[in-house]
Amino acid sequence: MMPAKNNDLEEYEVDKVVDHRYRKTAFPDGSHDEYLIKWKGYPSSENTWEPESNLNPSALAEARTLKWTTEQFENTKSDELRKDVLCISACNDWATAADVPNVKISFKLPDAAGKFGGHGGGACCSSLLSILYADEKVPEEDLSFKEIIWKMRKTLIKDPYRQIPQMSSMNPIDVNTKFDLFPDTATGTKRAVMIGVNYVGDEDNELSGAHNDVLNMKRYIQEVRGFEEENIVILMDDGKHTNPTKKNIIHACKKVIRQAEENDAILFLYSVGHGTRVEDDNGDERDGFDEAIVPRDFEENGFILDDDLYEILIKDLPKGVSMFSLFDCCHSATIMDLPYLFKGDEMQAEMTLDPKFNLDAFIEKITGNLKEFVQAKMAAKQKKKAAGSKRKVKPEPSKEKKKKLEQEHE
């Protein structure tokens, strides 16, 4: 980090802002933007990475041109990046999501699963349904996307749950417009894949809310949204439905994507089952971690990563098909790897590009060039390392400059 700027020293002047990166510095959320600075009068070997807070206004204005803007991104997007995908998540990537002990008492929702389902529900899914269908009644007035997310947050705080719901999307959404699971263009068949994992019989991991969430969401989409029984696929570990193993979840997802046609709508629900984070293995995550869902047989067959969800849900989503997904699990904010984000913390006035999202890597992943992109980044990093270690602080003035300054101040 550079010392306080001395206006008398030219060496402290920014010559050029060379590069931008996003750096995670401390748990849980000590991340910030950094910029590679070339200092006036010094060679490139003396460049240093500086946090955004260290830059003066003129340097900051130049620095921010290195980051994507919504206009730039939208003007360069291919059709693959314009798919209609919307996701509501339970919490931040580093945070955990909660169960509620009794959905009937806390959220005025049916205890559809009964005592064998544990009476509970996921806090995120239950809060959304309590707004859309409390006491099996729809709201008398239309609510905007912003109002829905903010009401979810206020409901959670009241109960009290500390998690902050998030809404992410492939495309920018005007959050002041009327909330709906799907746009008006979704006039075709409505399909759903809903997964509830309570890890029944697993003492270390057993939950109590997943089955109620699935059954209550099923009731809502059938009675209010017009979904037909034949187009709803349920995976639950209740001994009655298809077991939510990794293989079965992937199969159900791929099948619903194959069946979908233009103007169809798909609802994907993963409720209360555990979510987790694992070390990123392909270089597309700025924070170094992939988010993942945890199937019933995870101990034998592993997790389903966010990269996997992209491959099975988004990559082959047909043109003109709309998808709404809800993930009520821990570490789920960016589990669908979507570039636009709106948080329920009442700090955002509109949906924006997620500043923590690795947009360049995302574009390369979509175009199939991620491996080459990461390799090029690593090669450039190794080249810089081989050229000599970077100074960690602002370079001192040269001897000649020091002498000149001393003479001027005598």
Residue 94 in any domain: the answer is yes
Q: How many domains does the chain have?
A: 2
Q: What is residue 341's predicted lDDT score, i.e. its pLDDT?
A: 95
135: which 2 tokens? 């006491």
Q: Which two tokens stand for residue 250?
A: 């992937």
Q: Which residue among 91, 124, 253, 330 is the active-site one?
A: 330
Is residue 2 a part of any domain in this protein?
no
118 and 246 fall within a common domain: yes
**Those residues with Cβ within 8 angstroms of residue 254's Cβ, 6 or more apart along the chain or in another chain:** 312
Are 221 and 252 found together in one domain? yes
74 within a domain of the structure (yes/no):
no
Top mean pLDDT of 73-77, 167-171, 211-215, 393-397 is at 167-171
- Tell me if residue 274 is catalytic: yes
> In terms of domains, do 40 and 145 share one?
no
CATH number at residue 260: 3.40.50.1460
> What pLDDT is attached to residue 112?
65
Q: Are 185 and 304 in the same domain?
A: yes
The verdict on 357 and 394 lying in the same domain is no
Task: Classify residue 92 by burial, with Cβ atoms within 10 Å: 0-12, 13-18, 19+.
Answer: buried
Cβ pair 105, 127 in contact under 8 A: no
pTM: 0.79
Q: Are residues 362 and 376 in the same domain?
A: no
Least reliable range by pLDDT among 12-16, 34-38, 138-142, 161-165: 12-16
Catalytic status, residue 32:
no
296 domain-assigned: yes
In sequence order, the 6+-apart residues with CB closer than 8 A to the CB of 19 are 35, 36, 66
Per the structure, the complete domain to which residue 109 belongs is given by: 79-366
Q: Dihedral of the CA atoms 47, 53, 54, 57 (nearest 10)? A: 100
pLDDT (mean) for 257-262: 98
pLDDT, tens digit, for every residue of 21-35? 766 555 445 567 788
Does 331 or 71 have the greater pLDDT score? Answer: 331
Across 319-327, average pLDDT: 97
- pLDDT by residue (tens digit) across 32-69? 778 888 888 888 888 888 888 888 877 776 776 667 78
211 and 88, same domain (yes or no): yes
Q: Among 90-99, 166-175, 258-267, which stretch is predicted with the lowest mean pLDDT?
A: 90-99
Q: State whether 289 and 340 are in the same domain.
A: yes
| Token pair in block for residue 236 | 């639950």
End-to-end alpha carbon distance in the chain: 30
- Would you give the distance in Å from CA 370 to the centre of its chain? 19
Cβ partners under 8 Å of residue 65, min gap 6: none
Candidate list 125, 274, 329, 331, residue with the active-site label: 274
Instruction: Clarify whether residues 109 and 219 are in a common domain.
Output: yes
Q: Is 155 in the same domain as 304?
A: yes
- For residue 139, what are the contacts with CB-CB under 8 A and spacing of at least 6? 131, 132
